[in-house]
Amino acid sequence: MSIVNALKISRRPAVAFAIVGIYWGMFAAHVPVLKAQVGVDDALFGLLLLGTGVGLTSAMWLAPRFDRLMGRASLQAASFLFIASFMLPALASGAVTFAISLVLVGAASGVLDVVMNARVSELEATHKHPMMNANHGMFSAGYALAALASGFTREGGLTPVVVFGGAMVIGAALALFARQDGVKFAPETGGGQGSALIPVLLCGGVVLIAFMSEATVEIWSALHIERTLAGGAAQGATGPAVLGLTMAVGRFGGQIITEKLGQITLIFWATLLSVLGALIAAVAPVPALAYLGFGVLGLGISVIGPVGIAMVGQMVRPELRVQAISQVTVIGFAGFFVAPVLMGVLSQAFGLRVAFACVALMLLLELPLISAIRRLRGV
C-alpha cells in the first residue's frame, strides 16, 4: 500500500499523530529556555522530567477506559485534552510546578497515544495492510516543522507562553478533524496469541529501547549543540529538527520497506543504523557532524517503535488489541522518563558525549528481543 493510500484511509488518526508531533517538537526546541526558566542543573532537570513518565504510566489504566467511555469522540476528545495540557509547562516558573505540569502533560499524551495507535491497528486489521509507519511519519513531520519554527521564534525572542499559545490555536483547529469510530470485535473472533503477556513484554522491550533513544535526542540534542559544541539557539533547535525530519523520511519510507523486507528484518538493519548514528553524535567535533549523527540515528529508530506497536496488535486476539497496545505503549513511554534521568546523571558525571555513546550500547539490546519475537511468531 502506498504512503498516500495509507494516510488517506487512516487520515483521522494521522491528524492526531501530527498534533502530538507538533507539541513535542516545540517542547524539545524549548528545553534550554524551559531549563533556564526553572533554574536547575542537568541532574535535577532530568529528575523533573520524570513527571512526564509518571503521567504516561497512568495511560495504561486511563486510556482503555477513556476509549470506552468517550466512544466515537475518543480520538478527538483526547486530542483536545493533550493540546490544553501543553500550556502548563510554559507557565511553570519553579521546579515543583514544572514537575506537576509534566505529570498532566504525560497523562494526556499517553491517553492520546494509546487511542490513536489503537485506531491505526484496527484499520490495519480491517484493510490487511500496514499503516503504522505512515502515521508515525506524520508525528515526525509535525515534530520537525515545529522544532524548526521554534528555533526562529526563539531567535526572535518570543517566550514559551506566546509560542505554546499560538500552537494551541493550530492544534485545536486540526483536532476538529480527529473523530473516528473504533472497530468492535466479538470476543470469539480473530486469531493471535491466547495470552498477551509474552507479546507485550517482547514488543514492549523493543519499543522501550527505541523510545529511550528517541527521547535522548529530543531532550538533550539542543543542549549538546549549544553547550558541548558552542552552537547558538537556532543551531541548538536544529538538532531535534534534524531528528524529526529524518524520522519522518524513515517512517514514510518504512511504510513501503516493511512490505518488502518484513518487520523483523527491518528492525535488525534499523538497529545497526541507529547505533552508528549515536556514535557519530557522541564524537562529533562540530554541530554539522552532530546533525549527521542525529539524522542517521533518526533514520534508524524511526521505524523500530511503530513496528513494535504494530507487531503486538498482530500477535494478540482482536478483543485484546487495545489493552495490549496500551501496555506496550506505556512500557515504551517509560523510555521518555527513564532516558532523561539517565542522560542527566551521565551528563552531570561524564558529559553528553559519553551519554550519547551509552545510547549506542543500549540500542544493541534490540537484537536479542527481535530474535525472540521471530521465534514466537515462527518466521
> Mean pLDDT, 10 residues at a time, over the chain (379 residues)?
82 92 87 86 79 78 85 90 91 89 91 89 84 85 85 86 90 83 47 70 93 81 82 79 83 80 89 93 89 91 89 82 83 76 76 85 93 84
In a domain, 346, yes or no: yes
Q: What is the pLDDT of residue 181?
A: 58
In a domain, 154, yes or no: yes
Q: What is the pLDDT of residue 365?
A: 93
Q: What is the pLDDT of residue 191?
A: 47
In a domain, 88, yes or no: yes
Instruction: Report d(CA 56, CA 133) in Å as an integer.
Output: 22
Phi/psi of residue 318, each to 5°? -55, -40
- How many domains in the chain? 1
Q: List the domain range (segments joined by +) for residue 338.
A: 3-179+192-377
The three-state secondary structure class of 316 is strand
Q: Which residue, chain included where needed, has cell 529556555? A: 33
Q: Please, are residues 207 and 329 in contact by the beta-carbon 8 Å criterion? A: yes
Q: What is the pLDDT of residue 16?
A: 93
Q: What is the pLDDT of residue 210?
A: 92
Evaluate if pTM is beyond 0.75: no
From residue 212, give the alpha-carbon distance in Å to each of 206, 337, 339, 342, 346. 10, 8, 5, 10, 14
Q: Which of 254, 216, 248, 204 is nearest to 358 (CA)?
A: 216
Q: What is the pLDDT of residue 203?
A: 93
Q: What is the pLDDT of residue 162?
A: 92
CATH number of the domain bearing residue 369? 1.20.1250.20
Q: What is the pLDDT of residue 188?
A: 40
